[in-house]
């Protein structure tokens, strides 16, 4: 059986490298999406009393409030685009 040429080996290695980079990029996108959702959940847990959810004791919420500036900005930006959350999720998973 003849051995594959060096050019073929380079092409296969290049294809494997490209596929690997694509998987890494997609994995990173999914992790970023999960991080955003976990930040939203954290903010809802701490500030849940505004929408009727049971919340932690007030002292805990007040201690965490100075550290929640970013989460509050995220919550306000999410609330602006809530009309199409299903569309955002479908776009993330390439559902057409």
Alpha-carbon separation of residue 13 from 16, 23, 25, 45, 63 (angstroms): 5, 15, 18, 47, 53
Going by C-beta distance under 8 Å and a sequence separation of 6 or more, which residues neighbour residue 42? Answer: 71
pTM over 0.75: no
User: How far is residue 40 CA from its own chain's centroid?
Assistant: 11
pLDDT of res. 46:
76
Higher pLDDT, 59 or 16: 16
Contacts of 54 (CB under 8 A, 6+ apart): 48
**Cα dihedral value 36, 25, 95, 88, nearest 10:** 30
pLDDT reported for residue 17? 94
Average pLDDT of every residue of the chain: 79
Residue 71: CB atoms within 10 Å: 19
């Amino acid at each position: 059986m003849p051995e594959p040429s060096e050019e073929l080996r380079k092409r296969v290695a290049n294809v494997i490298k490209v596929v690997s980079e694509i998987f890494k990029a997609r994995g990173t996108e999914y992790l970023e999406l999960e991080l955003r959702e976990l930040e939203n959940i954290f903010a809802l847990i701490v500030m849940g009393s505004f929408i009727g959810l049971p919340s932690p004791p007030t002292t805990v919420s007040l201690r965490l409030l100075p550290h929640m500036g970013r989460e509050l900005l995220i919550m306000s930006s999410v609330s602006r685009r809530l009309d199409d959350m299903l569309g955002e999720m479908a776009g993330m998973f390439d559902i057409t």
